Structure 1
Amino acid sequence: MEKLTVKAYATKHKLSIFNVVKMTKSGQVPTETVVENGKDVVYILLDDTVEKEVQKSILKEENKEPYSLRKENARLKKEIEELKKEIAQLKKRV
């Protein structure tokens, strides 16, 4: 079994440290606490079966991202057009 710190585990799975800590507290991943230099350090124990379950539970945001980016891009273009019209009106007043 391999041991990883919370930070190393988070970077390996591209998760936030907060989410990894939540997973350790809820018991989704097996952990081991070791005292190093007077501090408690939490190590996550890597196991093939647990890793497969974690991979299934991680949501893939890649599929949703392009759709939301297109939508956001369209909204911003519309806002730019409105601002251009407003600028044109203000220039006519001056």
Structure 2
Amino acid sequence: MKKLSIKAYAAKHKLSIFNVVKMTKSGQVPTETVVENGKDVVYILLDDDVEKKVKNSIVQEENKEPYSLKKENARLKKEIETLKEEIALLKNRV
């Protein structure tokens, strides 16, 4: 079995170190604690079955809907128009 540090595991799966620590604390990935230079270092044990489960649980960017700048621009223009109308109404009241 191969061992990876938390930082290396996070880089391999493109996750934040915080999320990897949460996964180790909850027991989603098997870990081994080793004392190096007087410090406890946590290593993640790589297993094919666990790796498949982790890869399935990670949301891939390919599955996400593509971001459309044109749609966002149109939405913001509509918002600006409604705000201008509200400003005009408020000016007329004063």
Pairwise TM-score range, normalised by the shorter structure: 0.7 to 0.9
Per-residue Cα deviation, 1:36-83 (whole angstroms, up to 9, x for no partner): 1111110000011111111111112333151xx20x443246647x6x
List structure 1 segments (4+ residues) > 2 angstroms apart after TM superposition.
72-80
Partner SS state of residue 3, structure 2: strand
In the comparison of the two structures, how many residue pairs are matched?
81
Structure 1 CA distance for aligned equivalents of residues 64 and 58 of structure 2: 14
Give runs of aligned pairs for residues 54-93 of structure 1, distance below 5 A.
54-66=54-66, 69-70=67-68, 72-76=69-73, 79=76
How far did 1:26 drift? 0.3
What RMSD, in angstroms, separates the aligned Cα atoms of the two structures? 2.1
Give, as a single letter, the amino acid of the residue that structure 2 aligns with 1:74: K
> Under a length normalisation based on structure 2, what TM-score does the superposition of the two structures give?
0.72
Tell me the percent identity: 71
Counterparts of 2:21 and 2:47, CA distance in 1: 17
| Secondary structure of residue in 2 paired with 1:41 | strand
Unpaired segments of 5 or more residues in structure 2?
85-94
1:23 aligns with 2:23: yes
Gaps of 5+ in 1: 87-94
When the two structures are superposed, what TM-score results if normalisation uses the length of structure 1?
Answer: 0.72
SS in 2 for 1:28: coil
